[in-house]
Every structure is written in structure tokens, then in C-alpha cells.
């Protein structure tokens, strides 16, 4: 039977129409020379589809493959959560930086999520649904370099931003931490050494932490060699804080530093090294708790204390810590690394923490403030981990200032998540990074120009239910 004209009109060069059971189908076609018959013969090729009066209907397999080509997949859950959970912070960024806020917020989010170096920011942006919710952020290396310089050139705008987070009644100032910089153009990165005896060029970061809000509140960067207590006073004054307490590490105490803090009217709690001559261990020698002045409970542990007469020195005793230190020391003796004479010499100081302070708080209050330093140390560890990827990228002091500012915002995002997990009693199961990992498995799919949310994995759904922020 002759194939009707309406079916033949779909035949193009390199194809043929076949009649199979009264229905018409389109196939690829080619020809090949037949040396025996001395003429070309037709060779049917790939099936292209069924011919109907409406047109050629491709095979189901082809239709599926074609559909897949039109699907765009982007990360959605983690960036949506960060935008929702940090609305207050983002609103402040928008207020202070109405023209740059898209770049700043996107940059800070990817620093938190991926510890992303500058060169990968654009890639993270384009593969995230954030590029459709925050449209036209400029995250190329060249754009970011300009952004950092511009931000760092206007310290007054940075301080304006930071003062929005100086809230609450109790603030702890950390005396500073060194961050190594391999950038030759950063004048403030001067040779120095830190507690790890690293002599590389480095800058000094000073953080103020709110104990009421359990959040970083302020930062200032200083030349790496600057350790003068006046820097503490200037940072507190710049932040507009009147009730801050400096909590130093064991290397900060000296008569000169204490005198300087008193002149600058900065309160302090400074841990003392255990061999400091200001510490009197005689009340601890007999083990008789009657010689001590009392105890309090801290996180279900009994802490004994002794106030040294005529001095601003308090020694705290944690019996559990004492047992742990004794066991560790005995292990060193067994390994022939220490001797029993060493043990007898140090046994009275084991399990103790001594501080010199001018705070008028109770012994329990001072101990609580001292332990508050752990929050700051945790913040600095996070800060350093976030910073480590790009320590060689920043070439100028102003760019370094902008760089620290972006990462400080990233740190705020981290601690907002941390605080939420604490309030919902989820910290035993998830860290802030765990939450982002599970939520990042939720995607947006663009199918035929329409966005839909992917199926949500069971674990990700459990996280959503616990944090109480619906992701749809």
C-alpha cells in the first residue's frame, strides 16, 4: 500500500517512512554500495518515532532523555535555612550596605558552608538556588578583590555594623590570637611568634564575645607584634562597651600588664601559671577541705575555691580534673618520661586553676566568666578554620580588614546556628556543619522552566522537623 502524502511530508533527507500494520514510523536511512548487485542498497537505521497527523512522536526513551536535558538541579536546603535563620543579621547588612549586601551575604554563606576560597565562590553560587533568590551577586575573583578593598577602606561602616551586635550586660574580651598571613602586601602582618612558636608574618585578632547572647559581638585586627594592653582599652572604647572583662591566657599575666589594665580602667581575670609565686598551695597540701573557703557546682561538677589573703588571687580545685591529671602523669612515669620526684613536686597543683582578678564577682561568678573564655576560644577556632583556605590571597591591609569583616559575618551565621541547636537541645546529635550537610541534600529542580523541590531524604526531613524551619 502506498504511504499517504500526509505521512510522507515528515520524511527528510537521510530518513525513511515505514508502514507497519497500517501505522507509519520514521527511521534513519542510509545507503551502501553493493558490489555484487553493482548498485546502492538502502539500510534502515535508528527508529525516530511514530508518525501521526499531529507530527512525529518520539520514542519514550528519547522523550525521557530530552526531558533530562531540560532539568537544572541546584542546592537549596542549606542556603534557604541560612537565609531564614539569619534574617536579622542579613537585614543589618542590607541597611549598612544597600548596594553590596548581595555579594557580602552570598560570600559569607559560602565561607560558612564550604570554607570556600575566593576562586570557588562563583562556582558555588551558580550551583546553588541562592543565585535565583539573591540575583546578580558578583563573586568573580576580580569583583571580590574590589569588594574586600572597598569594605576595608571604610572601617567606620564596619564598626557601625558591629555595634548592632553589642547587646547584653556581660562581655568578655579575649586578649588576642595570631593569624598567620603569607601576603607580602599586608603591612600589619609583621614577623612575630605565637603560642606555637610560629615566626611567620602574622596579624593579631581581638574579639569581644557576648556572654548573654553567646555570640561574637565585635572584632578588631592589630599588627601581629602589638600586645600592649592599650590595644584592649581602645577596642573596648571603639565598641562602646563599659562592662567588659578581659580574660587572658596564662601567658598574659605580668605586673606591667596588670598595671596597664588598671590605668586603662579595664577589669580583668588572668589565669596564672601553676609555678607563679603568687599562688599559695599550702591549704591544698593536706587534702583537708576545711582549709578551703567553700564550693559551688558548675555543670554538675564540684568546684572548691580558696581566696588568698591580702591578694587578688583565687585558686579553684576540680577533683575530677585532679584525678585525670594524676593518671596522665603516672602514665608518663610508666613511660620513663617523668619521675616520682616530679610527681611529688607538682601534686598539690594538680586539678587547680588560679587567677588574679579585680572583678567584684563571687568566686562562682569569676569561675563562670573564666569558663566563658572557652566560648571565645571556640569562636576563634571556627574563625581560623574559616580563614585558613585563603591566607595568601589578601594583598593589602584594607583588603585584610574587608576579609575579616566577611568572615566575621560568617562566624555570626555559625553561632546563630549553634545557639539554635543549643536552645533546641540538638547539640548532642548535630553540629552546625552537620545541619548544613543534611539540608544541602535538598535540591531545587527546574523542569520545563518551572522550579520544584526535590524529594527530601529521611534524615534531612528529621532535621527540618527538629529545627522547626519548614523547607518547601
Give the pLDDT mean for 405-434: 91
Predicted confidence at residue 189, as pLDDT, reads 36
Closest CA to 422 of 469, 363, 365, 467: 467
In this predicted structure, the answer to whether residue 121 has a pLDDT above a threshold of 50 is yes
Would you say 420 and 467 are in contact if contact means Cβ atoms under 8 Å apart?
yes
Q: What DSSP string runs through 398-447?
A: HHHHHHHHHHHHHHHHHHHHHHHHHHTT-TTT--HHHHHHHHTT-EEEEE
Predicted confidence at residue 323, as pLDDT, reads 96
Q: How far apart are CA 464 and CA 456, in angstroms?
A: 10
The reply to whether CATH 3.90.350 applies to domain 170-395 is yes
In this predicted structure, the answer to whether residue 388 has a pLDDT above a threshold of 80 is no
In this predicted structure, the answer to whether residue 400 has a pLDDT above a threshold of 90 is no
Give the pLDDT mean for 292-309: 93
Predicted confidence at residue 389, as pLDDT, reads 40
Q: 215 vs 294, which has greater pLDDT?
A: 294
In this predicted structure, the answer to whether residue 67 has a pLDDT above a threshold of 60 is no
Q: Are strands 267-271 and 244-247 parallel, antiparallel or unpaired?
A: parallel
Would you say 230 and 253 are in contact if contact means Cβ atoms under 8 Å apart?
no
Predicted confidence at residue 310, as pLDDT, reads 85
Q: What DSSP string runs through 34-83?
A: ETTTTEEEEEEEEEEEEEETTEEE--HHHHHHHHHHTEEEEE-HHHHHHH
Q: CB neighbours (10 Å) of residue 264?
A: 18
Q: How far apart are CA 412 and CA 90, in angstroms?
A: 10
What confidence tens digit (pLDDT) does each residue in 195-234 have? 443 444 467 778 888 878 888 889 888 765 445 677 888 8
Percent of the chain whose pLDDT exceeds 90: 46
Q: For the chain, where do the domains classified as CATH 3.90.350 start and end?
A: 170-395
Closest CA to 432 of 363, 393, 395, 381: 381
What confidence tens digit (pLDDT) does each residue in 331-350 have? 999 999 999 999 999 999 99
Q: Which of 139-148, 168-177, 272-281, 387-396 has the lowest mean pLDDT?
A: 387-396
Predicted confidence at residue 14, as pLDDT, reads 86
Predicted confidence at residue 228, as pLDDT, reads 62
Q: How far apart are CA 92 and CA 111, in angstroms?
A: 19
Predicted confidence at residue 182, as pLDDT, reads 41
Predicted confidence at residue 321, as pLDDT, reads 94
What confidence tens digit (pLDDT) does each residue in 165-197 have? 887 777 878 755 545 444 444 333 333 444 443
Give rounded-to-5 percent helix, strand, coil for the chain: 45, 25, 30
Predicted confidence at residue 83, as pLDDT, reads 96
- Look over the chain and give the mean of its residue pLDDT values, rounded to a whole number: 85
In this predicted structure, the answer to whether residue 45 has a pLDDT above a threshold of 90 is no
Q: Which of 6-10, 334-338, 360-364, 429-433 has the lowest mean pLDDT?
A: 6-10
Q: Which of 11-20, 21-30, 339-348, 367-376 has the lowest mean pLDDT?
A: 367-376
Amino acid at each position: 500500500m502506498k504511504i499517504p502524502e500526509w505521512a510522507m511530508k515528515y520524511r527528510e533527507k537521510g530518513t525513511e517512512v515505514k508502514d507497519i500494520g497500517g501505522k507509519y514510523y520514521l527511521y534513519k536511512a542510509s545507503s551502501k554500495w553493493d558490489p555484487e548487485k553493482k548498485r546502492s542498497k538502502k539500510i534502515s537505521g535508528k527508529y525516530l518515532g511514530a508518525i501521526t497527523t499531529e507530527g512525529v512522536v518520539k520514542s519514550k526513551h528519547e522523550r525521557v532523555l530530552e526531558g533530562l536535558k531540560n532539568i537544572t538541579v541546584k542546592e537549596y536546603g542549606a542556603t534557604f535555612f541560612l537565609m531564614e535563620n539569619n534574617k536579622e543579621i542579613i537585614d543589618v547588612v542590607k541597611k549598612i550596605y544597600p548596594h553590596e549586601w548581595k555579594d557580602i551575604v552570598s560570600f559569607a554563606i559560602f565561607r560558612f558552608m564550604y570554607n570556600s576560597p575566593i576562586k570557588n565562590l562563583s562556582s558555588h553560587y551558580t550551583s546553588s538556588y541562592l543565585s535565583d533568590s539573591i540575583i546578580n551577586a558578583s563573586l568573580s575573583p576580580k569583583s571580590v578583590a574590589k569588594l574586600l578593598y572597598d569594605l576595608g577602606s571604610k572601617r567606620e561602616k564596619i564598626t557601625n555594623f558591629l555595634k548592632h551586635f553589642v547587646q547584653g550586660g556581660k562581655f568578655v574580651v579575649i586578649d588576642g590570637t595570631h593569624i598567620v598571613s603569607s601576603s607580602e602586601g599586608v603591612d600589619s602582618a609583621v614577623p612575630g611568634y605565637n603560642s606555637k612558636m610560629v615566626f611567620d608574618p602574622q596579624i593579631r585578632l581581638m574579639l569581644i564575645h557576648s556572654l548573654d547572647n553567646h555570640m561574637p559581638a565585635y572584632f578588631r585586627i592589630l599588627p601581629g607584634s602589638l600586645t600592649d594592653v592599650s590595644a584592649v582599652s581602645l577596642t573596648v572604647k571603639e565598641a562602646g562597651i563599659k562592662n567588659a572583662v578581659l580574660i587572658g591566657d596564662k601567658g598574659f599575666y605580668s605586673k606591667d600588664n596588670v598595671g596597664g589594665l588598671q590605668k586603662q580602667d579595664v577589669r580583668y581575670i588572668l589565669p596564672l601559671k601553676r609555678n607563679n609565686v603568687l599562688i599559695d598551695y599550702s591549704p591544698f597540701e593536706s587534702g583537708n577541705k576545711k582549709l578551703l573557703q567553700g564550693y559551688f557546682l558548675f555543670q554538675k561538677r564540684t568546684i572548691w575555691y580558696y581566696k588568698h589573703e591580702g591578694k587578688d588571687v583565687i585558686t579553684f580545685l576540680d577533683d575530677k580534673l585532679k584525678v585525670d591529671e594524676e593518671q596522665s602523669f603516672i602514665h608518663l612515669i610508666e613511660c620513663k618520661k617523668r619521675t616520682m620526684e616530679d610527681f611529688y613536686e607538682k601534686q598539690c597543683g594538680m586539678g587547680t586553676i588560679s587567677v588574679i582578678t579585680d572583678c567584684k564577682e563571687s568566686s562562682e561568678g569569676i569561675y563562670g566568666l573564666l569558663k566563658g573564655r572557652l566560648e571565645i576560644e571556640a569562636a576563634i577556632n571556627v574563625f581560623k578554620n574559616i580563614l585558613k583556605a585563603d591566607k595568601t590571597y589578601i594583598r593589602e591591609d584594607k583588603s585584610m580588614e574587608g576579609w575579616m569583616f566577611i568572615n566575621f559575618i560568617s562566624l555570626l551565621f555559625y553561632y546563630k546556628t549553634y545557639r539554635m541547636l543549643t536552645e533546641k537541645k540538638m547539640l548532642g546529635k548535630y553540629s552546625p556543619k552537620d545541619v548544613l550537610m543534611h539540608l544541602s541534600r535538598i535540591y531545587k529542580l527546574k523542569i520545563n522552566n518551572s522550579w520544584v523541590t526535590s524529594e527530601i531524604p529521611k534524615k534531612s526531613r528529621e532535621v527540618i522537623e527538629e529545627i522547626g524551619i519548614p523547607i518547601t
